[in-house]
Amino acid sequence: MNHSHFQAGLRYLAARGLNLVAILDVGDPPVQKALNQAQIEHAPYRRLLLVAHGGRMLWRAFQAAGGEGQTVDPIDRYSRRAVSTVMREFWGVAADQAAFLYPLTDHLVPLQQLGTAAGWSHRSPIGTDIHPDYGLWFAYRAAVLVKNPLPLLIAPMRPSPCDSCDDRPCVTACPAGAVGEIGRFGLNACVTHRLYHRSSCAGQCLARLACPVAVQHRYTAEQIAYHYGQSLKDIRRYYMEE
């Protein structure tokens, strides 16, 4: 694959809001460790393509492409379609040379470990990752194992914004006491609070909104309502049907 096709593929993804792309060597110890811990077979593959979105562009492009009307998991399908197109049409990766790990598979993919291996992100007190440029307004969109030796693309790791955040407003903003030390997010407390009738966190995360990092990339109210509405539906399905 020549350089211009590779760059054109990156531009194609960026135009669809998929503006963070890493290509990791499956043989790298942190990548191997993450995949082994998740019991993901990776022997025939050489690269791991990791795609994420940061900021508002994804929502704008997704709406321009028709939005959520037609299918279940519409953003997952949108992301997967864009990544498949780039691999096939720009990077010469045949369908039998790649295996999606995420989204829309049964794999439990260690996305946060892979995000760290990509040099992107750090754990935050609210359980999700934080990115130096996009703050908490950032999410993983696709992970694919690829047999072709695509050029490696790894960002230099930068410090976590949380390291210099002395006040930690995310901690005080959480009404459930779920947010505290990094690595000790209180998932049960958060879920319990979100399931209350007329919960203040039914359609938003007050802790996430309180974070002062990268506020210019904060999702629109419509996007926040969409994502938190989806996650509340998932929580209800999981906890109510148990």
Given the rule CB under 6 A, which of 56-64, 100-108, 119-127, 149-157 is the region that contacts ligand SF4? 119-127
| CB nearer to ligand SF4: pick between 87 and 162 | 162
Give residues 193-232 in contact with ligand SF4 (rule: CB under 6 A). 193-194, 201, 205-207, 211, 213
Angle, in degrees to the nearest 10, between helices 57-64 and 221-241? 90
Smallest gap, in angstroms, from Cβ of residue 163 to ligand SF4? 8
| CB nearer to ligand SF4: pick between 52 and 205 | 205
Smallest gap, in angstroms, from Cβ of residue 195 to ligand SF4? 10
C-alpha distances (whole Å) from 128 to each of 43, 70, 137, 139 are 29, 29, 10, 9
Smallest gap, in angstroms, from Cβ of residue 180 to ligand SF4? 10
Element (H, E) at 143: strand 138-146
Radius of gyration over alpha carbons of the chain, in Å?
18
Which pairs count as long-range contacts for 218-221, CB under 8 Å and 24+ apart, including other chains? 218/56, 218/135, 218/137, 219/56, 219/59, 219/137, 220/56, 220/59
In the stretch 159-188, what mask flags binding to ligand SF4 with x, by CB under 6 A? --xx--x--xxx---x-x-xx---------
| Residue 197 token pair | 């009738």
| CB nearer to ligand SF4: pick between 187 and 240 | 187
Phi-psi region of 239 (alpha: psi -120 to 50; beta: other; left: phi over 0): alpha
Positions touching ligand SF4 (CB under 6 A) are 124-126, 130, 136, 161-162, 165, 168-170, 174, 176, 178-179, 190, 193-194, 201, 205-207, 211, 213
